[in-house]
Chain A
């Protein structure tokens, strides 16, 4: 029974929710910036393809400010380079395999620090702000500040191969040579969890360096030998999801910003696009031999893939509707001197792709890659020092506990049905005089096959009816006029 008062409460809340939704849609007017793009002209009745455009072409046709963003760094001695952009896309971190580490503001080309750590560098990663970054070195993982001063030596993360940072949870995740996945809470400096990720399947006893994070639910994806892909949370000893993505060893994984699409490449020279909501393969493309060595999604869902010294960029790869199994190539770039690319990263909020390769770093212009409208409360490219300080405090206050990481985020806003039934049964057993509540679910969310189909049908029918009615209305208006 719902009392009148509760009804009122619900009504008010519902109205507020509607208001909020309306306001949110209205606020989209404020997104005034539009993303960049390249249109293909027709020259002599022949359509020009965007793939034929070189970086020089693009650079010559954009404004000076954008043209500055296209540059090469020749660093032939300490490659191959791993790269990482900060979350606001303002700063860049380079980590050469042979110990060279450099951090700088890549837009103004102002160097923060540069050093050689005299050790093999496996990976570099920015932490929550641009004044701190982690470097996975041969023995331990270190944290340096932007002056290049060693702040911490994390002996918990030894012989790390790859680093991932979960910004909302302040977790630094690392895989190591022994096959362990370890999480460190950077805000309190404690080890949260460490699990053995060795997969019985396949021949690799050693750990994997194929790693990515799912930005929507903060799971860590690992690629293993034998084409197996696993998703991990710090709360469970076993992988939450384990899937056979390829029939041979995986080479790279990338997950898009919304966490609904995943791209994988394997040694079997295939590039697969997966829907992470259903775990089904959407597209399967044949690529150059050995597959893409690294993949990266941009904010606007462009996918960059590197094949030795060639970097390819695809557009509309996730929702490709054409039946042909050809890769929807958008742009191409070949690194000079045949230096094979080792690390790819799209710069957030910029139409720029950073490529770390054997002989340095290349910054490429990719129109339409970045999100044009940034949310300054989320990540502000034009952040001042004061804003950064405030943002750090706010970030820390809003820190999400590692316990909250799950496969399905919506679980938190739902009643635990099993727990509910268990609790009521306990009540019934322990207190005879208490009348247990019943679990009343008005409409069960999980419909059967037929129910689903019916729902879909009605939905389609309704939309068509709506369209029809709108047309009728238009006609009537015209007639009146």
Chain B
């Protein structure tokens, strides 16, 4: 394009031609003007200005030609030579074209600031374009009902049972051996079979009827076992201390009974049992595995300042206690509350002297419990034959505890007491209580105070009197009175005009001098008429129109920010949110938090790859279209930039898809 603007070198020879040409055009121009002037019919004298300098010289011509408007292009010159088709001219044309072609001149480089600006603009545009990809994501997150952080959710993967089981591996060779032996046993139930091999063997040898019976029996036994197991499991899980205490008590009772029975039925075994118990006691006495907090330990601690032996004892005991605790860890949940009792009870045992010994149920495995736990029976006492005694001894702490409980919840106890002797609370000796449905027994010994009687009589009289008066005055123009009151109130509430006229200002004033009517009218400010009263159509009702100051403090008197009109805001506020008005599901939904986080999980910034990759995936899934992107996926999923391009690609694909749909 630039070639066109290249000027032809100006030749001196052409000057004359040029001049003559301009002269002729001027003449033509003058003629034209003349003709235009004469067109209107009216003759108008055309004044031709005469300039002192009229002779054009070379200089002027050159400047004229150099001006952009009068540039003469090489092709213009050549076009006039179209008709002549000489070889020379053709070659000339070619040469010129060549010259024009090769005369491409490099542009002058931009100034540094401009260049930088241009660069900046370009960079900005590019950046906005790349960032604008985030716009929908940001907008979505901002308007989302809730955001669950971390946003990048790995997704929940459920393990199948096989997978879970596959994780288990036998560890040692010994275990492997054991497993092998167990596997080889014929008493194992194989999967997909009801019976073990041993059972099958037995049954196969029986005849049909017997086999059936046996099978049924086996089934029943298996079911019973499973029920029992389930029950044990359930009971074992119970954490209630109270329940545990009850269970323990039951066990103790059972123990005592058994012991009694044994003493009668099997004296040898009984003696054996006693021995066993004794051994336990000795063991316990020899090992002082207790905590530091017991009475005994406290005493020892006091002594330990001066006595090294005592100190050692305590330390030893503590050590043992620790050791024991580590052992206990499994049983802790059940037998927590036992510890204290045991410690307290076992305490005297450690000292010389007679005390009642409690067994530690921790030591005894649960299965053996019934036979072994000899609860709180003192062998010395039981041997004398008074099997009842331990029980009575044991009833004591229970009683104490009962009392404690009663003091803690006074309500029940009081009620009990009330039931027992209701007269305690009563000022009057009223022995009658209304516990029974029809309490018809007359109370004889009750004497009513005289003052009471008087009150009653007076009351009756006054009531009757009042009633009579009221009946006499009934219909006594009540309505008229009420209406008068209402009209008074209406008058009182009506906004009043303000009179600003000053008497004596600009006129005479005084008694007997009338105030100017015009002035009165001018200075009387009429208030705005009050809105219609709510009770305007109800002649029997007066509704207070005064604004309630206290509630107005709690009312909203400004439209909060995002709302454009009142209705929007009110509709939002009127929705009740509380549990009282909504079912649980709705309550949860209505009060959903804006942001949810998980404890201990870091909140990462949005991940480009993750977001776009996910979007891409979800879209592809949704549209269920074959985008032929599976290959691309694998190649490009590594680099971010590539991801972007993928994103673009995907968008374009989507557009194509839309177009397709349209055509369809």
Asked if A1 and B564 make an inter-chain contact with CB atoms under 8 angstroms apart, the answer reads yes
- Of the candidates B478, B550, B574, the one whose C-beta lies within 8 Å of that of A226 is B478
| Chain A binder among B96-104, B231-239, B479-487 | B479-487
**Which A residues lie within 8 Å of B443 (CB)?**
77
A residues within 8 A CB of B589? Answer: 16, 19-20
Interface residues on A, range: 35 or more
The smallest C-beta distance from A238 to any residue of chain B, in angstroms, reads 6
> For residue A287, which residues in chain B have a CB less than 8 angstroms away from its CB?
none
Tell me the minimal C-beta distance from A415 to chain B in angstroms: 5
Instruction: Tell me, yes or no, whether B415 is within 8 Å of chain A by CB.
Output: yes
Q: Quick one: which of A65-79 are within 8 Å of B by CB?
A: 68, 71-74, 76-77
Interface assignment of B541: CB less than 8 Å from any CB of chain A: yes
A450 at the interface (CB under 8 A from B): no
Say yes or no for B367: interface residue by CB 8 A criterion: no
* A243 and B542 contacting across the interface, CB-CB below 8 Å: yes
- Binary contact track B437-451/A, C-beta < 8 Å → 1, others 0: 111101100101100
Query: Is A73 in contact with B586, judged by CB distance below 8 angstroms?
Result: no
A63 at the interface (CB under 8 A from B): no
Q: Which residue of the partner chain A has the closest CB to B438?
A: A72
A-chain residues with CB within 8 Å of residue B438 when the two chains form the complex? 71-74
The smallest beta-carbon distance between A279 and chain B, in angstroms, is 5
B145 touches A23 (CB 8 A): no
Contact between B559 and A5, CB atoms less than 8 A apart: no
- CB within 8 A of B435: which of A6, A111, A290? A111
Contact assessment for A440 and B586 in the assembled complex, using a CB-CB cutoff below 8 Å: no
Q: How far is the CB of A16 from chain B (nearest CB, A)?
A: 5
The tally of residues in B whose CB lies under 8 Å from a CB in A reads 89
A12 lies within 8 A of B566 (CB): no
Contacts A148-B425, A225-B470, A423-B558: A241 and B543 contacting too (C-beta < 8 A)?
A: yes
**Given A115-B427, A236-B548, A244-B540; A420-B559 close (CB under 8 Å):** yes
B434 contacts which of A111, A240, A243, A442 (Cβ < 8 Å)?
A111
Evaluate contact between A413 and B478: CB separation under 8 angstroms: no
Q: Is the CB of A416 within 8 A of B433?
A: no
Cβ-neighbour of A112 out of B418, B471, B485, B573 (below 8 A) = B418
Complex contact B557–A441 (CB within 8 A): no
B569 within 8 A of A: yes
**Interface presence of A315 (CB below 8 A):** no
CA distance A236 to B544 in the complex (A): 10
Nearest chain A CB to B467 CB, angstrom units? 7
Q: Which of A1, A116, A410 has the most CB of B within 10 A?
A: A116
Q: Are B553 and A403 in touch, CB under 8 angstroms?
A: yes
In the complex, A42 has a CB within 8 A of chain B? no
Contact flag A377-B435 (CB < 8 Å), given A235-B549, A241-B543, A413-B573? no
Interface residue? B411 (CB, 8 A) = yes
CB neighbours (8 Å) of A406 from chain B are 548, 551
Residue pair A243, B541 in contact (C-beta under 8 Å):
yes
Kindly state the separation between the CA atoms of A5 and B569 in the bound complex, as whole angstroms.
Answer: 15
Minimum distance in angstroms from A478 CB to a CB of chain B: 37
Partner pick for B440 among A74, A239, A403, A414, CB 8 A cutoff:
A74
Distance to closest chain B CB from A159 (angstroms): 13
Q: Which residues of B contact A439 (CB under 8 A)?
A: 559, 566
Q: A2-B568, A201-B481 are in contact. Are A73 and B544 (CB under 8 A)?
A: no
B497 at the interface (CB under 8 A from A): no
- Chain A 24-39 residues near chain B, CB threshold 8 A: 24, 26-27
User: Interface stretch among A48-56, A97-105, A256-264?
Assistant: A97-105
By a CB distance below 8 angstroms, the chain B residues around A290 are: 467
Tell me whether A147 is interfacial, beta carbon within 8 Å. yes
Judged by a CB distance under 8 angstroms, whether A60 is at the interface is no
Complex Cα gap A103–B475 (Å)? 42
Instruction: Determine the residue in chain A with the shortest Cβ distance to B555.
Output: A416
**B585 adjacent to A23 (CB under 8 Å):** yes
Which residue of A has the minimal Cβ distance to B452?
A98
A242 to B485, CA, bound (A): 11
Which B residues lie within 8 Å of A221 (CB)?
none
Q: Are B558 and A414 in contact (CB under 8 A)?
A: no
B36 interface residue, CB < 8 Å from A? no
**Once the chains bind, are A443 and B567 in contact (CB under 8 Å)?**
yes
Name the residue on B nearest A104 (C-beta).
Answer: B434
Let me know if B551 and A404 touch, CB within 8 A: yes
CB of A283, distance to nearest CB on chain B (Å) = 16
Check A68–B437 contact: CB distance below 8 A: yes
**Interface set, chain B 549-600, CB cutoff 8 A to A:** 549-559, 562-575, 579-583, 585-586, 589-590
Cβ-defined contact, A201 with B143, below 8 A: no
Residues on B with C-beta less than 8 A from A155 are none
The contact of B437 among A26, A71, A440, by CB within 8 Å, is: A71
CA distance A77 to B456 in the complex (A): 11
A233 to B574, CA, bound (A): 23
B440: min CB distance to chain A, Å? 5
Q: Does B131 contact A (CB under 8 A)?
A: no
> Which of B442, B542, B550 touches A235 (beta carbons < 8 Å)?
B550
Q: Which residues of A contact B176 (CB under 8 A)?
A: none
Residues of chain A within 8 A (CB-CB) of B143 are 5, 8-9
Q: Is there an interface contact between B565 and A440, defined as CB atoms closer than 8 Å?
A: yes
Given A8-B143, A113-B418, A235-B548: A247 and B485 interface contact (C-beta under 8 Å):
no
Q: How far is the CA of A16 from the CA of B575 in the complex (A)?
A: 9
Residues of B contacting A201 with CB < 8 Å?
Answer: 478, 481-482, 485
Binary flags per residue of B404-421, CB closer than 8 Å to A gives 1, else 0 = 000001011011001100
In the bound complex, what is the Cα–Cα distance between A417 and B409 (angstroms)? 54
Contact of B546 among A26, A238, A243, A403 (CB under 8 A): A238
- Provide the residues of chain B in CB contact with A98, threshold 8 Å: 448, 452, 455-456
Residue contact A414 to B570, C-beta cutoff 8 Å: yes
Bound: A156/B380 CA distance, A: 70
- Whether, in the assembled complex, B142 has its beta carbon less than 8 Å from a beta carbon of chain A, the answer is yes
Query: Given contacts A98-B452, A248-B471, A378-B580, are A110 and B479 in contact (CB under 8 A)?
Result: no
Q: Is B652 an interface residue (CB 8 A)?
A: no
Once A247-B478, A419-B555 are accepted as A-B contacts, the answer to whether A111 and B422 lie under 8 Å apart by CB is yes
> Does B428 have its Cβ within 8 Å of any Cβ on chain A?
yes
Bound together, the chains give a CA A23 to CA B572 distance in angstroms of: 18
Residue B469 lies at the interface, judged by CB distance under 8 Å to chain A: yes
A411 CB–B CB distance under 8 Å: yes
Q: Are A268 and B474 in contact (CB under 8 A)?
A: yes
Residues from chain A with Cβ under 8 Å of B106 in the complex? none
List of B residues within 8 angstroms of A414 by Cβ: 555-556, 570
B residues in contact with A43, CB < 8 Å: none
| A378 and B411 alpha carbons, distance in the complex (Å) | 23
Which chain B residue lies CB-closest to A420?
B557
* B538 sits at the interface (CB 8 A): yes
Task: Report if B430 contacts A (CB, 8 A).
Answer: yes
Closest A residue to B542 by beta carbon equals: A242
Residues of A at the B interface (CB closer than 8 Å) are: 1-3, 5-6, 8-10, 12-14, 16-17, 19-20, 23-24, 26-27, 68, 71-74, 76-77, 97-99, 102, 104, 109-118, 120, 131, 146-149, 200-201, 203, 225-228, 233, 235-236, 238-245, 247-249, 267-268, 279-280, 290, 377-378, 385, 403-404, 406-407, 410-420, 422-423, 437, 439-443
Enumerate 14 A-B pairs (CB-CB under 8 Å) in ascending A order. A2-B568, A6-B562, A115-B430, A118-B427, A146-B411, A147-B414, A203-B470, A235-B549, A267-B471, A280-B538, A404-B554, A412-B554, A414-B556, A442-B565
**Given known contacts A77-B446, A243-B538, what 8 new A-B pairs fall within 8 Å (CB)?**
A2-B562, A2-B568, A71-B437, A104-B434, A117-B427, A279-B540, A290-B467, A419-B557
